[in-house]
Structures are given as C-alpha cells and as structure tokens.
Structure 1
C-alpha cells in the first residue's frame, strides 16, 4: 500500500509541481490585483479629499477677495471725490441762486419760496427733489432775470448780469461733466480693483495651498503623527519649505496702492475726455429718454474701452493697475514696505518679481479684458437700468430682465438731464461705499469672474515649488511625492461653471476650456 502510493506520487510529481505552480501564480496574481485595487481606491479617496480641500480653500479665498475690496475701496473713493469736488459746484450754484433771488424778490418772499419737495416724507425722493429743484430753479432764475430786469438800470448792471450768466453756464457744464465723470470713474475703479484683488489673492492662495500639500507629503518624524502639522501650513508657519515669505506677500499686496492713488487719477482724465466728447453739448434742462441716456453711456464706454472687439482686446489696463518697474520701489516706499527692503533676501526678490510678472501677464491677457467687460456691463446696467430708471425716470422695477429691457427701449418717458445728474451725484457715494455695496454685488454675480478666478488659482502650479518644478525637468519627476502630484492635478470645482484643469496645460488653454464649458449659458 505504501509502496503503491509512493510509485503513484513519483509518476505524478510533474503534474503536482505544475499544479502547485499554477496555484501559486494564481495566488500571487490575485494578491497583485487586490493590491492595485486597494491603491486605486486609496488614490480615489485621496483625490476626493484633495479636491474638497481645494474647493473649500478656493471658496474661502473668494470671500476674502470681497472683504478686501470693501476694505480698501474707500481709499480710492476718497481720492476720486477729492479730485472731482461736485458738491462744491453744487454749493456755488445754490449760492448764486440765492443771490439772484435776493435781487429779484423781497426777503419775505425768499423765505416763502422754498421748494415744495422739502416736505416730502420719502428720504430718497426728498434728496433728489432738493438737488433737482436747485437745478431747475437755478436755470429758471436766468429767464426770470431777463424778464424782470429794469431797462433804466444802466449798462453796468447789464454787464454784471452777463458775467453772472456766463459763470452760471460754466458751473452747469462743470457740474454735468464732473458728476458723470465721477460716477463712471468709480465704476471703472471698482471693476479693476475687483479683478486685481482676485488675481493677487488667488495667486497667493495657490502658493499657500501648495505649501500645505508639500508639507503633507514630506516625511514626518516617527515621534509625531503624520497629520499633526497639517493644521498650520498657511502663511503663519515659518517652517514651510516655500510659500511662507510673509514679506514677499505683503510687498506684493501693497502694489494695489498704485491703483488706489495713481491709477484712479489717471482714469479720471481718460473718462473725463470721453464724457466731454459725448455729453458736452447736452443741456441740463433738456428732456431725454432713458434709451438715449443708455446710448450716450455706451458711447462713453466705447471711447474708454474700445468700440470693437479687437479694440477692447488690445486696450491696455496694466498702467492703471500696476506701477512700471522703475516705480515699484516708490510704491513700496509710499505704502510703508521699505523698512527692511534693503535686507530683502535674493529669494524673496525673485519670488516677488515672479508674482509681479505673472500678474502683468494675466492683466494683459484677452481673458482679463473679456471678464472686465462683463463686470462693467453689470455695473453700468445697475447704475442706468436700475438706479437712474427708478429714481429719475420713475420706472418701476421688473423681475424679468427681458421684460425690463423691452420696457426701457420702448418707453417714451422723458426726464430732465438735471434729474439724472442728481442721481449720478448720489450714486457715486454708493459705488465707492465700503459696506453694503450693491455695485460690487452686481459685479460678483458675473459667472465669468469666478471662472477667471478658478483658472488663476489652478494654473501654473508647476512654477510654485522646487518639487513641482521638477515636473518640467526630464528624469526628476520620479522624486516628486505622490500626494504633491495629486494636489497639482487637482483644481477647484465650482457648483456650476468651473472646470478641473491640469497645471501643465497653461493659463490660456485652461481659460479656453473654461469658456467652452460656458457654451449655451448666459456668460
């Protein structure tokens, strides 16, 4: 029995060896497949976590942009209001009105000639009536003065009357040009400041995010948990490998000083020239429709931004947003960033220069011009189609935008230009307000703005760190941590419009794909 069993095993030992080999190979193959499935599952989980983390950081970054704009906008507003003192012109017109009345009627009649709108209970209507009545009454004084002048008063009185008329005409023209210029300049400043802030904070947010990811991927000491240090990987952690240059970030953000103090003043001259050309011959007492006012506003925009798509694409806004290179040190000094400028390390200087150069490239890109046009459309529409139509033309608001446009275009309701000037004067303060700014809300409702910010945030990751830069050098990508590569491939996902872009595709390619996602939508 035993001998028979041995002979049988000896005769079938080859078959047993082959079977064992097959079973072993099958087991190893199964373990390999299970390992790969586990790795894929882990990678999918890490990718989901990374995208969620990036999305959360991106959304928080956009909220920071809004608060930053509201915090620094009043600085530009004060400079523009000081450069265009419309209220002083209004006071001079009212003073001349009082002088004319004092010569044409008695003191008791002056006291009883107050405009009836003063007793209006509605605050907005009362403010509008006070200003527009001053326009109308002041212009009426000229006519009344001509009819009530005593012909025997002599040539000296007539000469003085002519001087008053000329001075009043000059004041009216200055009032008209300045009030419109100031409101339009503030809209341009608000839109440019919004885009500049989005670029700056999203570039810095991208750097800080990568700093956190690289710190996560770096080996940790055995005595510490691998995730303990993840809670302090932003710009308050001085131990980061990169992205922690607080001085560089401060200097970079301080460059917005140029727009707040110099760029907005240069914008005034550009806008004023366009307003004079379009509104110069318009009489403040003339009655026009809202459609004509919208057309005149569009003509001003064409002269400032460009009349055609090609002109708008080639319009350069960089000189208003960032100082020329030879003025950068001046800006840093004026903004208080020069206390340790001489001791700045070469690495910090290089990093700052890279940030400035990338910002300049973004501002000069066609995508910037496209988004700026959309933001300006929203802001000007809110001013003319909402505020002026309601306050000056007394057109009630409509919930349907299409119905509202049809109402405005087909409406023959007219209002004096002086009424609209009063609204322009008041709305200038609303446009430049640092709290409850309706115009900023209208600009931020533009879908293209968030798409632009997402592309800025997710593009050019490979230029932000030595580890990520290795992607562009052959033979070194193997040393890049897997989690860092995962983060570089991730991009913020918005609820509706944003796309996930790989860093190596570049900004222009990413923006083109973002636009492709918007086909068929209101963009």
Structure 2
C-alpha cells in the first residue's frame, strides 16, 4: 500500500507541484490584494477625516470673523457718532423752535399752542416728523428763560434774520450729517468685514500648516490633521510658535478703527455735499429719487465704472503707511518701549511678511469686486428695505424675485415724503448699522457668496510663502501639486504634499490648493456661479 502510494506520487509529482504552486500563488495574491484594499480604505478614511477637519476649521474661522467684527465695530461707531453729531443738530433746531414759541407766546399768548405765524406749515411738519422719527423726546427741548425772551424782543428784526439764517444752515448741516453718517458706517462695516476676513484666514492658514508640520516632524503617530492650535501650545515645534506675531498682526485693524474711518468719512462727505447740496428740506422726495442720489454718491466714492472701481485704492484706509507701523503698535499696546521710533517694520520681521501679503490682497481686483458686492448688500438693506418700509411705507416683500422688484414698486406706487422724514430714518439706522443686535447689515453682507469664496481663496492660496521658511530650516521638505479650485473644494482641501517623516520614509498629507491668487479667484468665482 505504501509502495503503491509512493509510486503514485512519483508518477504525479509534476502536476501536484504545479497545483500546490498555483494554490500558494493564489493565496499570496489574494492576501496582497486584500491588504492593498485595506490600506486604501484606511487611506481614504484618513483623507476623509483630514478633509472634514479642514472644512470644520475653515467654517470655524468664518464664525470667528463674524464675532471679531461685532467686537471691533463699536470702536469705529463711537468715533463716527461723536464726529457727526446729528442728534445735537436736531436738538438745536428744536431749541430754536421752542425759543420762537416762547417769544410768540409773550406777544400773542393766544397763539402759543399753534406756533408762530412766521413758521410755515412745511417747517412745522418737518420738525414734528424729525422729532418723532429720530426718537428725541419733547422734554429734551430747552425753553429759554424770561431774560432771554426779553433780549429777543429787543433785538427785533435783526435777531429774527440771524435766527432764520441759522435755521437754514442747521437744516443743511443736519441733511449732510445724517446722510454722511449712515453711509460712512456702511463703508466702514464693509471694509472692516473684509479686513477681518483677510487677517483671520491668513492666520488660519498658518495654523493649519502648523498642524501639517507637526505631523511631519512627529512621525506617524498622528495620521490625521487635528483641530488643535499648535501656534501657542507647542513651544518645541519649529513652526507655529509665533503667537506674539499673530497678536501684533491683528492689532493693525486699529488703523481703520481710529484713523482710516475719518478718511472714509471725508470722502463720503464730499460726495454727499456735491450730490445732495441742492436738495431742500422742504422738498418732496420720492423713493426713486433718493435711490438715484444714493447711487450717485457711491459712484463718486467707489467709481462709476468697473475700471474706476478697480483703480480705487482702499489700502490707505485699512493699513497704515510704513512709517506709521510702529506708531500703530504703540497705540494698540503691542509696543511698550516709548523710545522706539515710528518707522517701518524690518524686512526680516515675520510680521512684515503678513502685512505685505495683506497689502497685496487689498490691492487685488478681487478685493474691489467683493467690496462692491458687500456695499450693494449694505445699501440695499438701508435704502430698499429700511427707508422704503419706514419712510415710504412700502410693505416688505421678501419672497419677491429681484427681477420683479420694479413691478412691486409700480404696484404700490409710494407717495413722496418730506426729506426730514428720510433724515430721521437715517439718523436711527446709523445706530443699527454700528450697534445693532443682531446686526442686520452685517448679516446681509455675510450672505454674499463672493465673500466666502474670497475667504476660501485667501485661506488656501500662497502656501509657498508659508512653506519656504520650513524648507530653509530643514524640518521637512514639501512637494506641491496644483489641482482644481472652488469654494467648497478649498474648504475641504484639494492638494497634497509629501514630507519626509524619517530616513527612507515618505508620507502624503493634504495641505490644500496652491495657486496664484488671481487664477485661484477666477476658479472660485466659476465654481460659485455653477452652484
């Protein structure tokens, strides 16, 4: 039996060897394929987690921008309200009316309640509407004493003429002040929103890269990019430990809040003077007329054409000149050495690179484009909603498509109103623009899709400037590849970088898209339009 079995194996040893070889090879191939599938699943899972973390970081960054704007806006608002004292001018007009009533009451007691004969019906209505709409109570009107009334009666016609001229001047001052203040606050809010987006997204990009470098220098213990901030909690890290630089960089918003707003105000005030100078407080104003005048002011401030708007420079309003940079750091409390001269930052300072990149972004055509869209949203909220509803009594129609808006205006046919009614709405809305809770104007600006696209491009572009210092330090070497760009892709990260985790080891990490800012912006806008 044993001999027969041996003879059978000898006769069939070749087929058996081939069979065992096929089975073994099949097992090895199957095991190899299954291991590759498992690795691919793990890699896809890690990539998905990293992309989700990056998306969450980007979204959190935008929420931080909103809270930062709300925290900084009151500083500029207080300065603007203190400079353009619309309520004080209104109060002086009320005082003049009270003085005339008192003088008239002395000479003609029976007419004290009806107002002086010299005051026209239009003046009375304008004053009454302004008082009721602006929220200034009648108890705030200071009634002159008996001695003042006697002096007024003795002065006679000369005092009356002076009062008349003063009243006309006050009305003109009130008109310019109310319009300029509301418009300046909208411009300031839009500029602050864009500046904050640039600053926080640049720092968010640095924080994200610090996570990449932490992964590169820490080995493979951590296979995903976390949401942790390595800028200030890991002093041993070669990158991302410059927390003080980040703080100093953020304080550059001081310039807009304390200096830039004034230049904006002067520019807006000049345009308002040119456009509204011929408009009398006694005139009737239609909704269409006020919209056209507002648009004319915007053309003078921003530019009448697309080329003019791109040529308009906003840098001087947002960032200080180079010889004032140290002054800004001193005023904001970042520099405690009083002997430090007010000079430009050194070229080797890491803060210099952040400020220079911010300047480049502000002077780019996409900045002008997004700013125009933000201003469209802000002025639409003021004119097409608040003034239209409160002054012209046009009912709110949130579900009406934009193309049908003119038809809605024709159906309701709003009647003209006196200019003081519009001024009263502007006076009250100025406080809502600067201190509203919730701030409807900021909410309308944040609904502009181009703003998120701009923030995404800032967050993802120009990785080279952040990676170069790392390469020079030798902590990790990055090889970047370009890829498609869109707002939703940028927020998830679309490119990869390879780094050397150790001798003979190489790994791939998603670090977002790398491209020039202009081409990236073009792709982002195209993606937004498709959405």
Under a length normalisation based on structure 2, what TM-score does the superposition of the two structures give? 0.79
Matched, 1:128 2:133: yes
Do the aligned partners of 2:84 and 2:177 also contact (CA within 8 Å) in 1? yes
- Residue 166 of structure 1 aligns to a residue whose secondary structure is helix
**Residue number in structure 2 paired with 1:138:** none
Judged with a 3 Å threshold, the aligned counterparts in structure 2 of structure 1 residues 130 and 453 are, in CA distance, closer, same or farther, namely closer
- Where do 5+ consecutive residues of structure 1 fail to align? 115-123, 135-152, 490-502
Number of the residue aligned with 2:279: 282
CA distance in 1, matches of 2:296, 2:415: 21
**What is the CA-CA distance between 1:398 and the residue it aligns to?**
1.5
**Partners in 2 of 1:425 and 1:484 — Cα distance?**
60
CA deviation profile, 1:250-281 (whole Å, cap 9, x unmatched): 10000000000111000011101111111110
CA contact 1:470–1:480 (8 Å) conserved in 2: no
Of 233, 237, 243, the match for 1:246: 243
Contact 1:202 1:457 in 2 (8 A): yes
Is 1:67 aligned to 2:67, yes or no?
yes
What is the alpha-carbon distance in structure 2 between the residues aligned to residue 372 and residue 8 of structure 1?
90
Q: Where in structure 2 are there 5+ consecutive unaligned residues?
A: 116-128, 140-152, 482-496
**1:261 equivalent in structure 2:** 258
Provide the C-alpha distance between the structure 2 equivalents of 1:417 and 1:83, rounded to a whole number of angstroms: 22
For 2:227 and 2:58, the matched residues in 1 are separated by 17
| Equivalent residue for 2:511, pick from 481, 485, 488 | 488
In the TM superposition, residue 216 of structure 1 has moved relative to its aligned partner by: 3.6
SS in structure 2 of the partner of residue 64 of structure 1: helix
Alignment partner, residue 519 of structure 2: 509
Is 2:479 the partner of 1:471?
A: yes
8 Å Cα contact 2:462-2:517 kept in structure 1 = yes
Aligned: 1:361 with 2:360: yes
1:444 is aligned, of 440, 443, 446, to 446
Q: Give the SS at the match of 1:209.
A: helix
Structure 1 range deviating more: 187-196 or 346-355: 346-355
Q: Quick check: 2:176–2:273 contact (8 Å CA) kept in 1?
A: yes
Residue 257 (structure 2) pairs with residue 236 (structure 1): no
- CA distance in structure 1 between the partners assigned to 2:244 and 2:430 by the alignment: 35
Displacement, 1:77? 0.6
Q: Given the alignment, which residue of 297, 301, 305 partners 1:304?
A: 301
Distance 1:274 1:249, change over 3 A: same
Q: In structure 1, what is the equivalent of residue 37 of structure 2?
A: 37
Tell me, in whole angstroms, the C-alpha distance in 1 between the residues paired with 2:225 and 2:138. 66
Aligned to 2:125: none
After superposition, residues 49-448 of structure 1 pair within 5 angstroms as 49-106=49-106, 112-113=113-114, 127-128=132-133, 157-219=156-218, 232-239=228-235, 240-339=237-336, 350-402=349-401, 403-408=404-409, 411-433=413-435, 435-448=437-450
1:457 pairs with 459, 468, 484, which one?
459
Following superposition, the deviation at residue 129 of structure 1 comes to 7.1
Distance, in Å, in 1 between the alignment partners of 2:331 and 2:260 is 14
Any conservation in 2 of the 1:317–1:364 contact (CA below 8 Å)? Answer: yes
Deviations 1:341-362 (A, max 9, x none): 98xxx99963212211221121
Residue 184 of structure 1 deviates from its aligned partner by 0.2
- How many equivalent residue pairs? 473
- Greater alpha carbon shift after TM alignment, 476-485 vs 174-183: 476-485
Contact in 2 for aligned 1:290/1:408 (Cα 8 Å): no
Q: Deviations over 1:74-129 (max 9, x none)?
A: 10011111221222222222222222223333386686359xxxxxxxxx998417
Write the deviation string for residues 114-156 of structure 1: whole angstroms up to 9, x where unpaired: 9xxxxxxxxx99841766999xxxxxxxxxxxxxxxxxx99x7
Distance in 2 separating the partners of 1:76 and 1:247 = 25
Q: 1:79 is paired with a residue of what secondary structure?
A: helix
Q: Determine if contact 1:284/1:417 at 8 Å carries over to the other structure.
A: yes
Between the aligned partners of 1:283 and 1:304, the Cα distance in structure 2 is 23
Question: Structure 1 residue 409: deviation in Å?
Answer: 5.5
Q: Cα distance, 1:332 vs. partner?
A: 0.6
Q: Shift in Å at residue 441 of structure 1?
A: 1.1
The whole-number CA distance in structure 2 between the counterparts of 1:95 and 1:455 is 55
Change (3 A) 1:469 1:362: farther
* 1:271-328, Cα deviation, whole Å (9 max, x unpaired): 0111111111011111021111011101111111111111112221111111122211
Distance 1:358 1:19 in 2: 68
> Alpha-carbon deviations, 1:148-202, whole Å to 9, x = none?
xxxxx99x74343332222222211111111101100000000110111111111
Separation in structure 1 between the aligned mates of residue 379 and residue 79 of structure 2, nearest angstrom: 21
With over 3 angstroms needed to count, the CA separation of the structure-2 counterparts of 1:202 and 1:370, relative to structure 1, is same
The answer to whether the 8 Å contact 2:49/2:224 transfers is no
Partner Cα separation in structure 2 for residue 298 and residue 233 of structure 1: 45
CA spacing shift, 1:258–1:293, aligned 2, 3 Å = same
Contact 1:290 1:389 in 2 (8 A): yes
CA contact (8 A) 1:313 1:366 kept: yes
The structure with higher relative contact order (CA 8 Å, sep 6+) is 1
Separation in structure 2 between the aligned mates of residue 14 and residue 391 of structure 1, nearest angstrom: 99
Contact 1:317 1:363 in 2 (8 A): yes
TM-score by length of 1: 0.80
Give the whole-Å Cα distance in 1 for the aligned partners of 2:189 and 2:74: 10
Give me the whole-angstrom Cα distance separating, in 2, the residues matched to 1:41 and 1:371: 41
State the secondary structure of the residue aligned to 1:267: helix
